[in-house]
Amino acid sequence: MFELGVAPGVTFFEGERRGRFPFGNVLLLEGRDARLLVDTGAGDEVLEAVLGRGPVHIVFNTHYHIDHVRGNARFRGAVFWCPEGEAGAFSSEEEFFQLSGWDLVGTETARSVLSGLGWRPTPVARELADGEVLDLGGLSAAVVRLPGHTPGHSGLVLEDKGILFTADIDFSRFGPWYGDVHSSVDDYLASVRRLTALAAAGPGFETVLTSHRRPLTREAFAAGLAAFENHFELREEKVLSVLAAEGPLTLTELTARWPIYGPRSELHPGLYKAEFFMLQHHLDRLARAGKVERVPGAAGSATDGAGPESVPGAAERGSAPEAAGPGSDRVDSYGGGDLWRKR
């Protein structure tokens, strides 16, 4: 287990599997008046080490994803805070599905997967806005809202300690991830540019902590942001290339080509969901730029009654998620049958 005292009162704990999904890193902030844990997805062994430091009074979940909330139930004595606008996704399965789109792969499949990963309803006592200062007594942190990954995805700035925590803007192998219903490419790019400006602002902070990587220097983080931002353009080029070669295609058919993550013989249904919604967000953005268009009158015409497992050609390519289960009604309701072409 990797644990690092970053500054007085600030301890970084690496999650299991070196913080790779379905785990994530956590941050313990200890002031005179309260002990606050940022996220709980680190795994049982790591959370035992956290609890070994004393009781946790407050948990701040940076957003509602499973690798950030899976350990919430271990902290029964704590109050839970989350970003403004996301409380429903913590306390209600229905609202979780509305924001995340996990029911795309079938409601029962989604429930089974999420339960196995540790998702449980969490009552939220307080929603935090951008710029809000959390004063723990001799240790304070300011909320920095970084939407796009999720609508409320947030990090923290500990200015007095020279520390920036950027949560899932982290240079992980998944690259930028915006695979929920209400994720946004435009918001994500704006968040990356906000962090770029912070990194260029001089010696305001020297250490960057994230949810899935070990600590970075400010210089290393600033250098990585440009390449990270470039992922968006590269992905849109792939989408346009597939549509030029094979289009028009429905969103479901385009998802079966896997232009973002590449075909996989064994697949977690969550990765199918991610590919589907990330492509949807790119198509909407490319349509606004006049680079693609929906084919008039074609919505729902190509995949009526077809779920992810029955996309034409998917079985031969080995790219359909075996665990996706039923869910064709959800695929259609999420626009899987809309037909797209390159302009």
Determine the pLDDT at residue 303: 40
β-partners of residue 216 are 208
Flag the least confident range among 3-17, 84-98, 151-165, 290-304: 290-304
Domains defined for the chain, CATH in brackets: 3-214 (3.60.15.10), 231-342 (no CATH)
Residue 201 pLDDT exceeds 50? yes
Q: Which residues contact 159 (CB under 8 A, 6 or more apart)?
A: 142, 204, 205
pLDDT, tens digit (0-9, with 9 covering 90-100), for 115-146: 999 999 999 999 999 999 999 999 999 999 99
Phi and psi torsions of 55, nearest 5°: -65, 145
List Cα–Cα distances, 245 to 217, 249, 255, in angstroms.
43, 10, 15
Place 332 in a pLDDT band, splitting at 50, 70 and 90: confident
Determine the pLDDT at residue 330: 79
Residue 301 pLDDT exceeds 60? no
Question: What is the residue-averaged pLDDT of the chain?
Answer: 89
Cα–Cα dist 134/123, whole Å? 19
β-partners of residue 259 are none
- Residue 293 burial (10 A CB sphere; 0-12, 13-18, 19+): middle
Residue 212 pLDDT exceeds 70? yes
pLDDT above 70 coverage of the chain, percent: 90
pLDDT above 90 coverage of the chain, percent: 78
pLDDT, tens digit (0-9, with 9 covering 90-100), for 13-45: 999 999 999 999 999 999 999 999 999 999 999
* Residues recorded for the chain: 343
pLDDT, tens digit (0-9, with 9 covering 90-100), for 148-159: 999 999 999 999
Residue 311 pLDDT exceeds 60? no
The whole-model pTM stands at: 0.90
Place 328 in a pLDDT band, splitting at 50, 70 and 90: low
| In contact, 95 and 119? CB cutoff 8 Å | no
| In contact, 13 and 1? CB cutoff 8 Å | yes
Determine the pLDDT at residue 1: 86
Peptide bond into 22 cis (omega under 30): yes
Residue 304 pLDDT exceeds 80? no
